[in-house]
Amino acid sequence: MSDASLLVACPDCHALNRVPVARLAELPKCGKCGGALFQGKPLALDERAFQAHVERAGLPVLVDFWAPWCGPCRMMTPHFEAAARELEPRVRLAKVDTEAHPALAARFGIRSIPTLVLFRGGQELARQSGARTAADIVRWTLQHS
């Protein structure tokens, strides 16, 4: 299946790009804006970006539901960033600020933060609450993706 491809949303303009799976690691660029499709860091998602990256694109997406006032969330931030560097381009990592986007948090029944939710094709695959190390995030993500 060397001709298989995935839709990958651009982290800058959120346009969908069809990328052959075999070429994901070759630093593909967006056909619309020319930006890098993978930046090795988590994306901040609002409702529009969530739709593009989680619901329409084909990559698995690990979303960290967090808030700026949350101590454990802030402690996990460098670990989540390290996990993004390790998991891309196999998995996109993203963050949803539950204070700024409470409708997204409510839609997914987020009751405690930080909560990690792994999605593929808009469907929830797994979730876990509580701060984790980078190694724990990577291991859990690969186990469930």
Query: Is residue 33 annotated as part of the catalytic site, yes or no?
Result: no
Query: Nearest CA to 102 among 62, 56, 47, 49?
Result: 47
13 in catalytic set: no
Instruction: Give me the sign of the Cα torsion angle 53, 12, 111, 70.
Output: positive
Which has the closest alpha carbon to 93: 132, 72, 110, 26?
A: 132
Question: What are the start-end ranges of the E strands in 1-145?
Answer: 5-9, 16-20, 43-44, 61-66, 92-97, 115-120, 123-129
Catalytic residue among 10, 13, 33, 73: 73
Instruction: Please tell me which residue in 10, 30, 33, 70 is annotated as part of the active site.
Output: 70
3 state DSSP class of 29:
strand
What distance in Å separates the CA atoms of residue 17 and residue 98, rounded to the nearest whole number?
28
Q: Which are the catalytic amino acids?
A: 70, 73
